[in-house]
Each structure stands twice: as C-alpha cells, then as structure tokens.
A and B are shown apart, each in its own frame.
Chain A
Amino acid sequence: MASYLVKRLLLMLLTLFGMSVLIFVMLRLVPGNIADIVFEAAGMIDDADKAQIEAELGLDQPIIVQYLQWIGGLVQGDLGFSYVSEKPTIEEIGPRIPITAKLALMALIFSIVLGLPLGVISAVRQNTKLDYALRVISLSGLSLPSFWLALLILMFCVQYFGTIPIYTRPPDTLWDELLLYSIPAAAVGFRSSALIMRLTRSSMLEVLRQDYIRTARAMGASNTSVNYYHALKNAVLPVTTIIGIEAAFLIGGLIVTETVFNIPGVARFLVEAILWRDYPIVQNLVMFIALVVVVVNFLVDLLYVVLDPRIKYAD
C-alpha cells in the first residue's frame, strides 16, 4: 500500500508537470498577447509602446526562460501578477475559488440527492412505466444544454416572480448565499444527477442479478431491505467513480452557468482571462483545476479501498 501511494503521488506530480508545459505552450499559440488587448480599446497598435509593455512583463524573453520563471515562482509559492489588474494573481484567484467551490459542491449534492434515489427506484421498478419515465428524464438531463436550461429558468423567474436569481452583490448571510446559488447549482447539477441516476440504475441491476442477493432473498430478507441495503451498498462503488469524474466536468458546466447567472467565480474568470491573454491568471488557474481533478481522482481511488475491502492496491 505504501509503495502504491508513493507511486501514485509521483504520477500525480508528473501529470501536473506535463499540464504546466501543455498549458504554457498552448497559451502562447493563442494569437495576440496582453499588449494587443491593452491597445485594442484605444483603437490602434503603437509598436513602440507595445514593445515597452512586453519588455516590462518579460514577454520579450525566450519562451524557456519565461517558463522557468513561472515554474520557479510557482514552486516558491509566488504566482506572479495579473497582467490586466496588475494585482497579485493570488488576490485575483483566491477570493473567487470559494464561490465556485460552493457552487460546485451544491451542484454535486443536488445531483446525488436527486440522482441516487431515482436511480434506485428506476432499477427496482425495472421496465415499468415509472422506469421508462425516469430514464427519459435522465436522458433529457444529459441532452439539455445547461446554458439553455439556465436561460429558461431566468425567463420563468422574471415571468412569475418578477425577480431573478442573478448575482449583483456579495450575499450578506449564508442563507442568502445558499438561496442565491441554489438555482444555478440545480441548473448545472441536473446533468450530473442524470448521469448518477443512470449509473446507479445499471449498477443496481447488475448487483440485483448476483447470487448473494438471490441468496439473501431466499433466506427471507424482505425485498425492500435487499434492494436498499445490500444492493445499494454495492452499487455505490461505481457511483463514487462517476462523482470523481463529474467533479471535473462540473467546472466545465460552471463556465456557462456562471456567465448566465453573472456569478463571479473562477470558471467564468478563466474564460475572461483567456480572452485577455492574462497568462499568469490562466496558467495558475488551469494548474489549480488540474490539481483539484488529480487529487479528487486520487481520493476516489482511496475511497474505493475503504468502501470495498476486496480491492487491494498492490504496487
């Protein structure tokens, strides 16, 4: 187990290193840099001033030097300064992370609370009308573009409540915050809930077919207890995996949802930073997202061991 952990950690570091190279190179392939953007609003490009800005930001240096400077800083905990706001990157990203984290967490909770029970019901009532209806609902969850859903929700809210759940200023209390994020979280979590529901259903069905369940039934365990206790316990395993994968996917979904609901989280900020060619922000943010994804996947793997003693990780 210990050597497995070490190996996993090394692989994680390797992945993160590769990601740093990938994002660094890809960003420099994006045409234009911050100097172009700065001059864009002025309606002209002044080559001398542009060169001046590039020199100030070190963009005139060889690409290898730029990379080493970034990584060197990163290792020491220095994330550099945003090109646009000229504030430390950490000050720009830091306050936005909790917003997106809360939103993602709420979406995840929503998707589990909705997806897991419906998946179980769907499996237990396999091939009934209810099952078909639930399957169609879950499939439509996978088919609706989340921004479209968000737009429809906004449309509905204005029509019937005369107000809209968009972010215009930081919420005062936790309750306000929960209320404010609940609708966007539902809009983006609907998709994940559909996925979780589908997976719960199919793993439940598989487990229900297995021998020990039959045995449990034969030994007089009630159907309900079999379904909900034995089967669900085993079906939870693959569902955990999907939750790990969905955690990463949620960030993608949040990009559009944060845009529609005007929530100042990191997901939307990333898009803006790409448009601004604000390299320090994009690079560090992408590294952060990658770190989260890698760590979540790692934790899910560990959770596997805890949930299923049959699985043992050898080296």
Chain B
Amino acid sequence: MTTVDHSAELARAGANVTGWASRTLFLANRYPLGAFGAVIVILFVFAAIFADVITPVDPTSTNPAKSLMAPGGQALMGADFMGRDMYSRVVHGARISLAVGLGSTALGCLIGVIIGLASGYLLGWFDLLVQRVIDIMQALPLLVMALVMAASLGPSLENTIIAISIPLIPNVARVIRSNTLAIRELPYVEAARAQGMSEVRIAVFHVLPNTLAPLIVLATAQLGAAILTEASLSFLGLGIPEPHPSWGRMLSESAAEYVRTAPWLVIFPGLAISLVVFGTNLLGDAVRDLLDPRQRS
C-alpha cells in the first residue's frame, strides 16, 4: 500500500504544526523545490484566470504599425508579424496550455480510473481484454498516437484535449488496476464485504480513495507531458488552430522564420512552455515525495 497519513508524516518529521498556513510553510520549507514549482504553477493559473484583466490588448487584434515590434515600452514582449501583442498572447496562451494540460489529464485520469478500477475489480475476461488493449496502446509512442488521433478528429481545442488524453489512459489504468488488486484483498475490504456491502460501493468508497495518492502522483507527472505534447502537436500544425494563442503554435513555422530578426517571437512562448512544465515537474516531484515515501529521495 502506498498511501500515507499526512499528519503522521508531518509529526514524524518533528513538526508541531496546526493550521493551514503554518503547514504550508512547513511543507515549503521541507520541499523548497516543490514550493518553487507550486509558485510557478500558481502564477500561471493566475495569469490564465485573469488574462483579460492583466493584458492591455486583445491577443487577436492586429495592428500594422506594430508589426515585428521589438520588446519595449509599447509592447512588453514585442509583437508578432501581424502586430499582435506578444505579452497578451503569451498570457492568454496560459489559458490554452493549462486548459489542454488539465483537461486532458483529467479526462485521461477519469477514463483510466474507471477502466483500471473495473479491470482490477471484475477481473476475468474483462480484465484480460483491458490488459491487451493497454498493451496495444502502449506499443505506440505518445506523440505518434496523439498525432493519428489529432488527424482523425480535426484541429480544435476540444479535439486536441481528447487526442492527448487517450494515450494517457493506459498508464493510469495500469497503476489503478494494480493498486485495486492489492487493496481488494485487504482485511477491511473483506470486512466490508462480510457486512454485506455491495461490490460497487466497496469499489467506490473503500478502494477508490486508497488509490488517490498514486493517482495524484501520476497526474502531476502527466500534466507536464500533456502540455509538451500539445506544444509539439501545435508545432506540427495538428493541434490548436489559429487564432487561439497556443504557445506551440506561436513557435511553429512562422515564428521560426523570424528566429534572427525577431527572436522574441521564439524566446517568450518557448520560455513559457518550459517554465510551466518545469513548475509542474517540480511540484510533481514534491507531491511524489510526500505521498509515495518508497520513492523518497
């Protein structure tokens, strides 16, 4: 079993902490890199939520006078060749990126949990079938799978989320399944069963909560991968279409052409992707350390 009692963990670390503020401080102190990651992620979430408020210009409005303007007073991060403000576009891009990252991770986890739970619980032919389908899906690299999916669904925000979520399912399903297998044999589950609790109720109320920790670990790890996959898809022209300001799209063909005359077109969106993925990775590491002591570093 991989769950861990938070307070016990905190207590063991010798902290006498109560209240969320001091707990947060304690955690930040214990996982400085994780705290740093959390700050980055929070910043991006903040940017995504208040994008309209904190940017002066509509990210899609064109302006011939600002075409390829260098970063400066009039445009904080410069402007692209259509005179669209890069700062506005990068900030609004956070929305797209986080929407795709969170959306596809959530969707992939949801489906993965259902399949994994059912598979580990029902066993039998259903489990066998699921196992084989997972084998098949894992025989293709994530990006290849997402590529074919994106091509068959067509370019749009929703379809990109779906295309990226599907290759995430096998990982989640596999982890949830193995956890389910372990938990269903535990004494308290047996006890619940003896008390006449229905199998569905057992699955939902006893087994599921206990698989949450590995799920959170997995989900934070997948978040970064999902954001990177979106960027790659958009870079290849199969992801989010214009005029949505997607970071990957901003880096694709047109920006690359101005790599020397207007390097800000390449630098800022690339930095944004790297930073947000970096943040989720740091956070993911800390969450794993916290929730999965076996892999503690």
Taking Cβ atoms with an 8 Å cutoff, the residues of A that contact B are 11, 14-16, 18-19, 22-23, 26-27, 29-31, 126, 132, 135-136, 139-140, 142-148, 151-152, 154-155, 158-159, 201-202, 205, 248-253, 255-256, 259-260, 270-271, 274-275, 282, 286, 289-290, 293-294
Contact = CB atoms under 8 A, between A and B. Distances in A.
B141 A289 contact: yes
Interface stretch (B15-23, B59-67, B143-151, B194-202): B143-151
Given A142-B277, A249-B141, A154 B270 contact: no
B140 A253 contact: no
21 contacts: A11-B132, A14-B132, A18-B136, A26-B152, A135-B33, A140-B274, A142-B277, A142-B281, A143-B277, A144-B270, A145-B231, A145-B232, A146-B232, A147-B235, A148-B274, A155-B266, A252-B142, A252-B143, A256-B143, A260-B256, A293-B140
Nearest to B280: A143
B141 A251 contact: yes
Interface of B: 33, 132-133, 135-144, 147-149, 151-152, 154, 224, 228, 231-232, 235-236, 248, 251, 256, 259-260, 263, 266, 270, 273-275, 277-278, 281-282, 285, 295, 297
A11 B147 CA distance: 26
Contacts of A27: 148, 152
Nearest to A159: B260
A143 B278 contact: yes
A93 B144 CA distance: 17
Given A26-B148, A145-B251, A256-B235, A202 B274 contact: no
Given A132-B33, A251-B141, A30 B136 contact: no
A26 B251 CA distance: 28
B166 to A, nearest CB: 10
A271 B236 contact: yes
Contacts of B139: 15-16, 19, 248, 289-290, 293-294
Nearest to B143: A252
Contacts, number: 139
Contacts of A159: 260
Contacts of B231: 145, 147
Contacts of A31: 152, 154
**Interface of chain B, helix or strand or loop or mixed?**
helix
B37 to A, nearest CB: 9
A157 B87 CA distance: 28
Given A142-B281, A202-B297, A259-B236, A151 B251 contact: yes
Contacts of A158: 260
Nearest to A260: B256
A19 B147 contact: no
A245 B180 CA distance: 24
Contacts of B235: 145, 147, 256
Nearest to A294: B139
Contacts of A16: 139
A140 B224 CA distance: 11
A155 B260 contact: yes
**Interface of chain A, helix or strand or loop or mixed?**
helix
A144 B275 CA distance: 8
A22 B136 CA distance: 8
Closest 5 CB pairs of A and B: A252-B143, A252-B141, A143-B278, A18-B136, A143-B277
A148 B265 CA distance: 12
Contacts of A275: 151
Contacts of B236: 255-256, 259, 271
Given A155-B266, A202-B297, A274-B148, 10 more contacts: A15-B135, A139-B281, A142-B277, A148-B266, A151-B270, A152-B270, A155-B263, A248-B139, A252-B144, A275-B151
Given A139-B278, A139-B281, A271-B236, A148 B273 contact: yes
B277 A148 contact: no
A202 B294 CA distance: 10
Contacts of B277: 142-143
A139 B148 CA distance: 29
B297 A205 contact: yes
Query: Which of B148, B263, B270 has its CB near the most chain A CB atoms (within 10 A)?
Result: B148
B154 A289 contact: no
A29 B150 CA distance: 11
Nearest to A147: B235
A248 B171 CA distance: 15
B1 to A, nearest CB: 18
B148 A142 contact: no
A29 B152 contact: yes
Nearest to B149: A26
A132 to B, nearest CB: 7
B148 to A, nearest CB: 5
A23 B132 contact: no
Contacts of A30: 148, 151-152
A293 to B, nearest CB: 5
Contacts of B224: 142-143
A147 B232 CA distance: 8
A259 B142 CA distance: 17
A248 B248 contact: no
Contacts of A270: 144, 147
A221 B155 CA distance: 61
B110 to A, nearest CB: 21
Contacts of A15: 132, 135-136, 139
Contacts of A18: 132-133, 135-136
A155 B236 CA distance: 19
B213 to A, nearest CB: 17
B214 to A, nearest CB: 16
